[in-house]
């Protein structure tokens, strides 16, 4: 069977090599983004863009001889305003470039292959070749050892070991088989041994990987609610400063007349002042922060299909986890037959095997295997018999054959079933069921008509390293709750072993959904990790929904993230990346606003000293001249964007500590830093510019 290694892969993305983003490409992109349509998307930077155009025109006018200031000065301002716009473009291009490299790596797994399409979903059915990019949803395809799986789909028949390293970076092969929660296959992965018959579930170009690639490339990255709110704030600040600068013009003209000294402030200086005052730092880096968050998520081997979910991850309060396949390895295998008093083990095995011959779940198959191993029971012809497939609602499966109604399922389900037929559930068996459950195994009770025959013990193993990491989640203030369709005792045993805070047993898909809604009504942000089709409704409802890559297509479709490592504790990383993204945005906003305030005091005296000589007293920095002061401020304003690009891409360092302490520290570093930096920076640039004035 699949790898028995119970430890979890903790590594970063190792699958495909990431090409570094070339400088030329970034510079090229930065110029491409100068189109007005792109600029309009970012109101703050659009103002800078307009300022660059106007000052350039003023410079050209000055060349003719009737300029408001020397042409050289105006062009110097214009050039640095253009640099400001280009730096912002470059920041975004850099962030997107990383994503693009990742997307290219993923796209390279999308190979065009020829698929063997089958007439009927049987291995030996008539078949014909179809190129993978022409496969229709619903088509049946046979994939043999050595072949590439042509599309996303579900296994209908067979079981095979599959190399998914092209996508997950994990070199150990995984088992993909029909029935149960391990039936989904991803296009681009390779069958190593055996064969499968699959049904195509996604049209070419619309598979989960394609959607993800579009997301990474930013094509589909909508603004998150927080980003929208921040944008509104930035627009408001921009408008306020626009008003301030416009009213400065008559104020300055008035000063020129009254004091009879100097000439009024020029349009060029007013534009320069405006750009220095509006929050360009955060405006320039905002989108890069978002894209970089997505990219960091991918580095952790999590494919996010929604920026909103990444952000929500930063504020998660509760984490709900499915048991089988999420907390445990999920290949629940029959390990023992425990007969009821008066029944032989072989009779029990025989009935259990009959009830499982048509049961395509891993549990069903493992029962058939155990019966064969122990009593050499062979499968027999069950055609014509009525088979009852397992469902998460009935928690039973079985067969009606030769006047026998054979069932197997959860103890509570079988109890109801035999009692409805007038039978009784032997009290001795209740004890045996509890014993099995206390071991953390799943007891399946087998019945024939109204008679209970005994128990099949299904063993499952808790994934390694879980307990410690759940403790970390607890330290972050996140409550972990396991939800399972299994009985209370099994749930309790596994819950204790995994170290979750709470559990809900005997849960139907609706119960899972209801629990999430209940938490959400209490105003909590809920994360859910799951792998099964019966987790899909809950995943769709959760704010942050991480589907295991090992899980079903339904689960992956319903979630807004897929963890390629199928590691339930990956949520730790997901939360970290989310928190980091929110914090980085906060830090840059704080810095940006503090910075602008400081610039105000640095340049106002210089700019207006000509008309209001008294303001000279405020020129505490002793800048060389009004002209050099203004130009220095504009240059500083542009360069600070470049200086902060690494921080925007890398993110502020996250430490697991209370939000209030994080906030205080960030205010200190980025608020105070933002206030001081302009005074030093502008003074230095002014010193360097002095020879030119």
Ligand X SMILES: Nc1ncnc2c1ncn2[C@@H]1O[C@H](COP(=O)(O)OP(=O)(O)OP(=O)(O)O)[C@@H](O)[C@H]1O
d(CA 97, CA 102): 9
Q: What is the helix, strand, coil percentage profile of the chain, to 5? A: 55, 15, 30
Confirm whether residue 295 is marked as ligand binding: no
d(CA 584, CA 593): 14
Confirm whether residue 402 is marked as ligand binding: no
188/409 with CB nearer ligand X: 409
**Residue 339 is encoded by which pair of tokens?**
């007969």
Which DSSP string do the residues of 434-497 spell out, in sequence order? HHHHHTTPEEEEEEETTEEEEEEEEE--BPTTHHHHHHHHHHTT-EEEEE-SS-HHHHHHHHHH
| Least gap, CB of 241 to K ion (angstroms) | 9
| Least gap, CB of 164 to K ion (angstroms) | 48
Residues in 457-486 that interact with ligand X by CB under 6 A:
484-486
Asked if 590 interacts with K ion (CB under 5 A), we say: no
Confirm whether residue 363 is marked as ligand binding: yes
Among the listed residues 163, 322, 350, 486, the single catalytic one is 322
| Least gap, CB of 603 to K ion (angstroms) | 11
| Least gap, CB of 440 to Mg ion (angstroms) | 16
52/553 with CB nearer K ion: 52
Stretch that binds ligand X, among 244-252, 268-276, 316-324, 338-346 (CB under 6 A): 316-324
* Residue 57, number of CB atoms within 10 A of its CB: 12
Residues in 332-391 that interact with ligand X by CB under 6 A:
359, 361, 363-364, 390
Strand partners of residue 533: none
Beta strands in 266-316 (DSSP E): 302-304
d(CA 212, CA 219): 10
**Angle, nearest 10°, between helix axes 71-107 and 267-277?**
40
322/360 with CB nearer Mg ion: 322
| Least gap, CB of 494 to Mg ion (angstroms) | 12
Confirm whether residue 359 is marked as ligand binding: yes
227/359 with CB nearer Mg ion: 359
**Residue 164 is encoded by which pair of tokens?**
């998914």
Asked if 366 interacts with K ion (CB under 5 A), we say: no
**Residue 442 is encoded by which pair of tokens?**
């799943």
Asked if 492 interacts with ligand X (CB under 6 A), we say: no
Asked if 324 interacts with Mg ion (CB under 5 A), we say: yes
Stretch that binds ligand X, among 233-241, 318-326, 426-434, 625-633 (CB under 6 A): 318-326
Asked if 444 interacts with ligand X (CB under 6 A), we say: yes
Which of 532, 578, 626, 674 is close enough to bind Mg ion by CB under 5 A? 532
Which of 307, 532, 586, 627 is close enough to bind ligand X by CB under 6 A? 532
| Least gap, CB of 226 to ligand X (angstroms) | 33
Number of residues that bind Mg ion (CB under 5 A): 3
Confirm whether residue 16 is marked as ligand binding: no
Number of residues that bind K ion (CB under 5 A): 3
Stretch 629-648: interaction string toward K ion, x if CB under 5 A? --------x-----------
Kindly report the backbone phi and psi dihedral angles of residue 525, in degrees, each rounded to the nearest multiple of 5, phi listed first. -90, 125
Stretch that binds Mg ion, among 217-225, 235-243, 435-443, 526-534 (CB under 5 A): 526-534
Whole-Å CA distances, 191 to 106, 123, 128, 143, 205: 18, 15, 19, 7, 21
Residues in 496-515 that interact with Mg ion by CB under 5 A:
none
| Least gap, CB of 505 to Mg ion (angstroms) | 13
End-to-end Cα spacing for the chain: 78
Binder of residue 290, out of ligand X, Mg ion, K ion, none (CB less than 5 to 8 A by kind): none
Residue nearest to ligand X (CB): 485
d(CA 167, CA 157): 23
Find, among 347, 361, 355, 363, the residue nearest to 387 by Cα.
355
Confirm whether residue 394 is marked as ligand binding: yes
Residues in 596-615 that interact with K ion by CB under 5 A:
596
The pairing of strands 479-483 and 318-322 is: parallel
Confirm whether residue 396 is marked as ligand binding: yes
- Residues 6 or more apart whose CB falls under 8 angstroms from that of 199 comprise 121, 138, 139, 140, 141, 153, 154, 156
106/507 with CB nearer Mg ion: 507
- Residues 6 or more apart whose CB falls under 8 angstroms from that of 301 comprise 11, 12, 13, 168, 169, 563, 564, 565, 570
* Residue 108, number of CB atoms within 10 A of its CB: 11
Which DSSP string do the residues of 367-426 spell out, in sequence order? HHHHHHHHH-PPP---TTSEEE---TTT-EEEEEETTEEEEEE-HHHHHHHHHHTT----
Residue 65 burial (CB < 10 Å; 0-12/13-18/19+)? exposed
Known catalytic residue: 350? Answer: no
101/505 with CB nearer ligand X: 505
- Residues 6 or more apart whose CB falls under 8 angstroms from that of 478 comprise 316, 317, 318, 319, 527, 571, 575
Residues in 253-292 that interact with K ion by CB under 5 A:
280
Stretch that binds Mg ion, among 157-165, 243-251, 504-512, 527-535 (CB under 5 A): 527-535
Q: Tell me the Ramachandran region of residue 107: left when phi exceeds 0, alpha when psi lies from -120 to 50, beta otherwise.
A: alpha
Binder of residue 189, out of K ion, ligand X, Mg ion, none (CB less than 5 to 8 A by kind): none
Confirm whether residue 395 is marked as ligand binding: yes
295/331 with CB nearer ligand X: 331
| Least gap, CB of 178 to Mg ion (angstroms) | 16
Asked if 408 interacts with ligand X (CB under 6 A), we say: yes
The DSSP secondary-structure symbol of 617 reads G
The DSSP secondary-structure symbol of 327 reads I
| Least gap, CB of 660 to K ion (angstroms) | 29
Confirm whether residue 391 is marked as ligand binding: yes
Residue ranges of the annotated binding site for ATP are 359, 363, 390-397, 408
Binding residues for Mg ion, per CB under 5 A? 322, 324, 532
Residue ranges of the annotated binding site are 359, 363, 390-397, 408, 531, 535
Residue ranges of the annotated binding site for Mg(2+) are 531, 535
Q: Which residues are catalytic?
A: 322
Binding residues for ligand X, per CB under 6 A? 322-325, 359, 361, 363-364, 390, 392, 395-397, 408-410, 442, 444, 484-486, 507, 532, 534
Binding residues for K ion, per CB under 5 A? 280, 596, 637
């Amino acid at each position: 069977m699949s790898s028995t290694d119970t430890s979890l892969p903790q590594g970063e993305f190792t699958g495909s090599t990431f090409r570094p983003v070339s400088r030329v490409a970034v510079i090229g992109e930065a110029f491409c983004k100068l189109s007005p349509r792109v600029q309009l998307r970012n109101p703050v930077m659009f103002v800078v863009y307009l300022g660059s155009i106007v000052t350039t025109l003023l410079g050209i006018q000055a060349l003719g001889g009737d300029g408001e200031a020397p042409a050289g000065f105006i062009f110097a301002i214009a050039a640095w305003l253009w640099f400001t716009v280009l730096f912002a473009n470059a920041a975004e291009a850099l962030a997107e470039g990383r994503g693009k490299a990742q997307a290219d790596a993923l796209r390279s797994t999308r190979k065009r292959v020829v698929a063997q399409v089958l007439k009927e979903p049987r291995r030996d059915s008539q078949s014909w070749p179809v190129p993978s990019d022409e496969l229709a949803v619903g088509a049946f395809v046979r994939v043999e050892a050595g072949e590439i799986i042509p599309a996303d789909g579900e296994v209908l028949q067979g079981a095979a070991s599959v190399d998914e390293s092209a996508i997950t970076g994990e070199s150990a092969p995984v088992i993909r088989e029909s029935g149960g929660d391990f039936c989904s296959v991803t296009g681009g992965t390779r069958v190593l041994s055996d064969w499968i018959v699959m049904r195509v579930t996604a049209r070419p170009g619309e598979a989960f990987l394609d959607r993800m690639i579009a997301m990474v490339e930013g094509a589909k990255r909508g603004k998150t609610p927080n980003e929208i709110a921040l944008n509104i704030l930035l627009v408001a600040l921009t408008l306020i400063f626009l008003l301030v600068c416009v009213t400065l013009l008559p104020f300055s003209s008035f000063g020129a007349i009254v004091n009879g000294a100097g000439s009024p402030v020029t349009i060029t200086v007013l534009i320069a002042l405006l750009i220095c005052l509006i929050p360009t730092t955060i405006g320039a880096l905002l989108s890069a922060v978002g894209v970089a968050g997505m990219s960091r998520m991918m580095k952790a081997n999590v494919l996010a299909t929604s920026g909103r979910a990444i952000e929500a991850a930063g504020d998660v309060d509760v984490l709900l986890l499915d048991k089988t396949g999420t907390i445990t390895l999920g290949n629940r295998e029959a390990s023992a037959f425990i007969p009821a008093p008066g029944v032989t083990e072989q009779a029990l095995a025989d009935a259990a095997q009959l009830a499982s011959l048509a049961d395509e779940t891993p549990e069903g198959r493992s029962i058939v295997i155990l019966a064969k191993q122990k009593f050499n029971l062979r499968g027999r012809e069950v055609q014509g018999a009525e088979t009852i497939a397992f469902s998460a609602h009935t928690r039973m499966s079985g067969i009606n054959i030769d006047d026998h109604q054979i069932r197997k399922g959860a103890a509570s389900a079988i109890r109801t079933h035999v009692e409805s037929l007038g039978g009784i559930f032997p009290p001795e068996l209740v004890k045996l069921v509890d014993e099995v459950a206390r071991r953390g195994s799943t007891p399946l009770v087998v019945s024939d008509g109204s008679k209970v025959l005994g128990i099949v013990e299904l063993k499952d193993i808790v994934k390694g390293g879980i307990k410690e990491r759940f403790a970390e989640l607890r330290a972050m203030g996140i409550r972990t709750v396991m939800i399972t369709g299994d009985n209370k005792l099994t749930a309790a045993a596994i819950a204790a072993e995994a170290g979750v805070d709470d559990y809900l047993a005997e849960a139907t898909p609706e119960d899972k959904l209801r629990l999430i809604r209940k938490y959400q009504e209490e105003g909590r942000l809920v994360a859910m990790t799951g792998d099964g089709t019966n987790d899909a409704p809950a995943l769709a409802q959760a704010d942050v929904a991480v589907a295991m890559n090992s899980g079903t297509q339904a689960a992956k479709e319903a979630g807004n993230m897929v963890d390629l490592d199928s590691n339930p504790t990956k949520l730790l990383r997901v939360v970290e990346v989310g928190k980091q993204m929110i914090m980085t945005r906060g830090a840059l906003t704080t810095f940006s606003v503090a910075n602008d305030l400081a610039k105000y005091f640095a340049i106002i005296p210089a700019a207006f000293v000509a008309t209001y000589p008294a303001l000279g007293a405020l020129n505490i920095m002793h800048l060389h001249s009004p002209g050099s002061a203004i130009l220095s401020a504009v240059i500083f304003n542009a360069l600070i964007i470049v200086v902060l690009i690494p921080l925007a891409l890398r993110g502020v360092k996250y430490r697991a500590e209370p939000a209030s302490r994080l906030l205080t520290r960030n205010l200190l570093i980025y608020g105070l830093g933002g206030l001081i930096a302009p005074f030093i920076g502008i003074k230095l640039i002014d010193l360097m510019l002095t020879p030119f004035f």
